[in-house]
Structure 1
Amino acid sequence: MSYPTPELPSKLSYDEAVDLSMELVDFERGFHNPGHSSFHLNRMTHLTELIGNPHSNIRTIHIAGTKGKGSVASMVSSILTTANFRVGLTTSPHMHSLRERINIDGDNISRSEFIRILEYLWPFVIQVEKEFNYGQVTWFEFMITMAFIYFYENEVDYQVVETGLGGRLDATNIVVPDISIITSISRDHTKILGDSILDISKEKAGIIKSGVPVVLAPQHYTHEVIPVVKDIAQGLDAQFIDVCEMYRYDVESVSLEGQRISVSGRYYDYKFSLPLLGLHQVENAMTAIASVESLMDMGLSINKSDIEKGLETVFWPARMEILKSGNKVIIVDGAHNEFSAKRLTESIIEYRKKILKEYSSQVIIVFGVLNNHECENILKELSLLKPIVFPIQSEHPKATQIERIFELANTLGIDTIDYDKRLKDISDVMNYITTSFDHKNIILVTGSISVAAEALEWYKNDFKVNDVT
């Protein structure tokens, strides 16, 4: 496979390659967010055209939504991999290493491949900035393009592509997929996508393409979301698959290890053990099944057992992930908007009656958010657990200051633990909490993916501050 090749820079080390990529505009970790009118697909179109549009000849599953899109992407990828297809998966954000964003069959892109593709791609990044009047390629655009190159070179059978933000103007929306999937829609990034569910739904539905089937996951805001997505699909002659209307499920049993589920699909009736907790993950699994069955409509040959096994072996961390530390149970969840906090709270209240009933009724929440998250609204939802909150500031550059979280918690009447300035990071906090309380407490770590990631690193005794490798 050949590409047009401009002169390459000198050989880079991996750390140098990462640092070079991080020089690009990064809306995830940077502080300048443009108005929505500034978002467009021109840079991505030009950049991918310069390298021969590597994404255009790969069967693609494209996924947008506010919540659950990463889970569904991981589930679909796991199912197809189990069925012996070679599958590329690109998701965001990453938890421990930026290489998590690009993987094939569950294996992250290697450091050497990251360097090699960066050295190939970088001159084109510079060319786009110099020759076109659209500004610098963003870091997210760069990473998505790298993923497309990596998948193309490795001749994957499918690429599962998760949007970064929105849908209509997201950098991933240059693909023409085999199917589009829209997961649960709620309010998030309202300064960019709009403040109403109607506006956000239109942005998410912007990934729907002419004649391409669209799978819509179960929705909380059914009356707002379904008419918008259905109308756009009909206007584009795209088959509309309403998962909530066409599929049924039953949760047969729940344990700390997962939940036993049955799903009535269009092709088969499925029974499997899902290693992810929460009713929302049952809905995500049902959406993944509907998506694979949509591919079966197009001729995909896949066994019922592959679908069941793919769901049983899916791995997607920090989504109601259960950890044990002595006589305490630790729940790690990256919930970072009001609706995800609501679903998390509902699940914990329900599980207190079942799998968590042997633990203390007291919930201690290690809580940290980013500045663009709805801190007050998230805390309002979590307050239903009657918790003691321990505010924390993660190492993310956009992390909200501890004092602000204390202020909001106190205003809402939520009990807090007095902050000790000797506790310098989440590792110190987790060690303090897990050794300072005698009862079988439930410890919940939530508020952002960055806080969840740092808690998992503490648990694995592998705490790394600001590690992007």
Structure 2
Amino acid sequence: MISATFLDTLKYLYFTRPYNTMKLGLFRIENLLSRMGNPHSGVKYFHVTGSNGKGSVTTFLEYLTYHHGHNVTGFYSPHLSTILERFHYNTQNISQEEFVEAAFEVKKHAEEMDKLGEEFSPSFFEYMTAMYFYITKKKNAEYGSVEVGLGGRFDSTNVIIPEISVICTVSLEHTNVLGNTVEQIAFEKAGIIKEKKPVVVGLMADSALEVIRQIAKQKNSKVYEYGKDFYVEPVQFSFNENVYDYYGDTTIKGIKVRLNGKHQLYNVGLALKAFEVTHRINEKAVKKAFEEAFIPGRFEMVNGVVLDGSHNPQAAEKFAENLDLYFPGKRRASVFGIVDDKDKEGVLKVIAPKFDLLIVTKPPSKRAEKVAETYEIAKRYNSNVILEPDYIKAVNLLKETDADVKFVTGSFYLVGYVRDYLLNGKISEELTIGGA
């Protein structure tokens, strides 16, 4: 049951702190936290950035910390079906009441800053970050597992001094903010490296890696590189029960991982290395952590439907790879919807041929008006395409098909709403606030 106070708090956040407004720089978050008594201090953090994989690595680190007997919070973005997914305590979402309390605490100080002018008014993400630190302090958490929102250097999470930083991958993304080359983007992400604090680095272009090495050298930070200092080998790929062997300072064989996809191999390695550098590892706890670690809507089966986002060509490639990996030779049907400012052609040419039936729909977003355009593009790559703009009707149509495996993919807006519908038979009032 959603409380009225929780909904009112969400309305305040979405309409007073515009959701998609980005503000670079750390002076606002530093000012806000200072007014709050610096709740981020006195906690040990894992700080994770990357073009891909940062959500999985942050999740794995949270579960590893929890299963090694520590109180830990997790901070994630964006959320899928509820804003509570952004704030974890010991691997679980916080409650509506805890969310409201944290929002109210931050509000007092944020509104004082609002009076100083637009430049000083905290953004939505800065507000979320301050709430996370308040929750962490309130819970007396010993550890925090923190996912960077965007980039690294000027991200509002970059006020922490972590035990260790992780840079998963570097590729061209958010070029209007982070730069037009992988070297520039690597520079921004390397901004989370702190003086004499180690950094774990994933596979990436040599030019990007060299930028990170140079910054780490300036900061006197030891660098641990995937493939050089540690690596992971796959043993078995099976839906929801993948098995890997880890080779670092310790060797751990037969690690079962619930999260699906070949790319998780690297994320498992990055998380384990970061944990290994800062902790004495318990093999039993490691195996329990990876077996339980979970992220909603990431190649997840919900009531007989597999949910996953394919919102850009890179994600589409991984999705298509997973189709062939986990469901070879199966008859597949999918609902697909994507917002208008994404590369529809780039996504559909990869995934549309993979389905025996594709049902094109409109994601629940103001940014998804051109569903007929999506339908026309889909028909170029699949001869069996149906247009059903109503996503609820599209899902019900999908359920009636005789396909062996059924999917919903494309926009995360679509995946989030459909997940809510499949679990509860209706769309939560929370999701309808403010629109997408």
Give the alignment partner of residue 294 of structure 1, picking from 262, 272, 277: 277
Aligned to 1:304: 283
Structure 2 equivalent of residue 238 of structure 1? 221
- Deviation of 1:264 after TM superposition, in Å, equals 1.4
So what's the TM-score if we normalise by structure 2?
0.91
1:377 aligns with 2:346: yes
The answer (yes or no) to whether the contact 1:256–1:322 under 8 Å persists in 2 is no
Amino acid at match of 2:290: L
> Structure 2 vs 1, CA of residues 181 and 282 (structure 1 numbering), >3 Å: closer, same or farther?
same
Q: Distance in 2 between matches of 1:112 and 1:217?
A: 38
SS in 2 for 1:244: coil
Structure-2 residue corresponding to 1:265: 248
- Partner letter of residue 210 of structure 2? P
Indicate the SS of the match to 1:172.
coil
2:70 & 2:425 partners in 1: Cα distance? 33
The structural deviation recorded for 1:439 is 4.1
Comparing 279-288 and 372-381, the one that deviates more: 372-381
Change in Cα spacing, 1:147 to 1:371, as seen in structure 2 (3 Å) is: farther
- SS across alignment from 2:235: strand
Q: Aligned equivalents of 1:303 and 1:127: distance in 2?
A: 47
Secondary structure, in 3 states, of the residue corresponding to 1:251? Answer: strand
State the match for 2:151 in structure 1. Answer: 166
Give the 3-state SS of the residue equivalent to 2:228 in structure 1. helix
Distance in 2, matches of 1:133 and 1:450, equals 29
Shift of 1:312: 1.1
Asked if residue 278 in structure 1 is aligned to residue 257 in structure 2, the reply is no
Structure 1 counterpart of 2:314: 339
Q: Give, in angstroms, the shift of residue 346 of structure 1.
A: 1.9
The one-letter amino acid of 1:184's match is T
Distance 1:399 1:413, change over 3 A: same
| In 2: Cα distance, 1:302 partner to 1:255 partner | 26
Deviation at 1:257, TM superposition (A): 2.9
| 1:381-400 mapped onto 2 (5 Å cutoff) | 381-383=350-352, 385=354, 388-399=357-368
1:116: Cα distance to partner?
2.1
SS in 1 for 2:289: helix
Is residue 2:387 matched to residue 1:438?
no
Q: Which moved more, 1:119-128 or 1:443-452?
A: 443-452
**AA of the residue aligned to 1:23:** F
The CA deviation at 1:284 is: 0.9
CA distances 1:160-218 after superposition (whole Å, capped 9, x unpaired) = 11111111111111111111111123333233223332222222222112221111123
Using a 3 Å threshold, how does the CA distance of structure 1 residues 93 and 364 change in structure 2: closer, same or farther?
A: same
**Whole-Å Cα distance in 1 between the matches of residues 424 and 34 of structure 2?**
44
The residue number in structure 2 matching 1:94 is 79
SS in 1 for 2:15: coil
The 3-state SS of whatever aligns with 2:245 is strand
Equivalent position amino acid for 1:316 in 2 = I
Separation (CA, whole Å) in 2 of partners of 1:102 and 1:111: 11
Contact 2:316 2:351 in 1 (8 A): yes
Distance 2:152 2:227 in 1: 22
Counterpart secondary structure, 2:402 = coil
* CA-to-aligned-CA distance 1:346-368 (integer Å, 9 cap, x gap): 2222334xxx44x22xx433222
Quote how far apart the aligned CAs of 1:57 are: 1.4
Equivalent residue letter for 2:232:
Y
How far apart, in 1, do the equivalents of 2:302 and 2:105 lie?
Answer: 42
Structure 2 equivalent of residue 417 of structure 1: 385
Partner of 2:128: 143
Q: CA deviation at 1:383?
A: 4.3
Structure 1 residues without counterparts, runs of 5 or longer: 1-11
Aligned mates of 1:75, 1:187 — CA distance in 2: 25
Matched positions, count: 429
CA distance in 2, matches of 1:338, 1:400: 20
Query: Would the aligned equivalents of 2:168 and 2:202 in 1 still touch at CA under 8 Å?
Result: yes
Q: CA deviation at 1:261?
A: 1.6
Q: Within the alignment, does 1:254 sit opposite 2:237 as a pair? A: yes
CA RMSD of aligned residues (A): 2.3
Question: 1:382 is aligned with what amino acid?
Answer: I
- Residue 184 of structure 2 is matched in structure 1 by 199
Partner in structure 1 of residue 325 of structure 2: 350
1:320 matched to 2:283? The reply is: no
1:451: which partner in 2? 414
Q: How many percent of aligned residue pairs carry the same amino acid?
A: 25
Q: Which amino acid aligns with 2:100?
A: I
3-state SS of paired residue (1:245): coil
Q: 2 CA distance for matches of 1:347 and 1:146?
A: 36
Give a deviation string over 1:369-408, Cα, whole Å, max 9, x none: 3344333322233245266432222223434631232243
| 1:395/1:465 contact within 8 Å kept | no
Contact kept, 8 Å, 2:378 with 2:385, in 1: the verdict is no
| SS in structure 1 at match of 2:306 | strand
Distance 1:179 1:346 in 2: 32
d(CA) in 1 for partners of 2:374, 2:225: 39
Instruction: Show the counterpart of 2:69.
Output: 84
- Structure 2 unmatched ranges of 5 or more: none
Partners of 1:198 and 1:462 in 2: how far apart?
47
Q: Which amino acid aligns with 1:374?
A: D
Asked if the contact 1:67/1:340 (under 8 Å) is kept, the reply is no
Supply the distance in 2 between the matched residues of 1:232 and 1:381 (Cα, whole angstroms). Answer: 37
